[in-house]
Amino acid sequence: MDMSPDNATYMSSAMATEQQEQIQLLSDYFRLSGEDASAEWACFQNFLQRHRLESSDDIVKHLLTSGVGDSFPQLQKLAGILLCYPVGTANIEHSFSTMNRVCNKLRQ
């Protein structure tokens, strides 16, 4: 992989564009202001770099429990929504249960 400064800048720019698209997609889905959320994300990235927050736990904790979230209301709403979003669903569990009945030890 080419790690030249020009390529690193391109990769960083591509990642930033992808992140902006993901923020826009989430904002649209949850009916939030996509422009505001994208602008907040751009500023929030500077905050993350200054405070060296890397884990998602620390990021969400700062958004929801400190005064930081007041400066980033759209991101605060997204963080709250995503924390409440279920990780697993009954449909998936049902599929695995059905699969276990179809492919049991006797039918392998």
Alpha carbons 5 and 10: distance in angstroms, whole number: 9
**For the chain, how many structural domains are there in total?**
1
Question: Which pTM was predicted?
Answer: 0.63
Kindly calculate the radius of gyration of the chain based on its CA atoms and give it in whole angstroms.
Answer: 20
Q: Are 18 and 26 in contact (CB under 8 A)?
A: no
Q: Which amino acid is at 52?
A: R
pLDDT in tens, 2-11: 444 444 454 4
- Range of the structural domain that residue 43 is part of: 5-107
Alpha-carbon gap, residue 62 to 75, rounded angstroms: 11
Q: pLDDT, tens digit, for every residue of 35-89?
A: 898 888 888 888 888 888 778 888 888 888 888 888 899 989 988 888 887 776 6
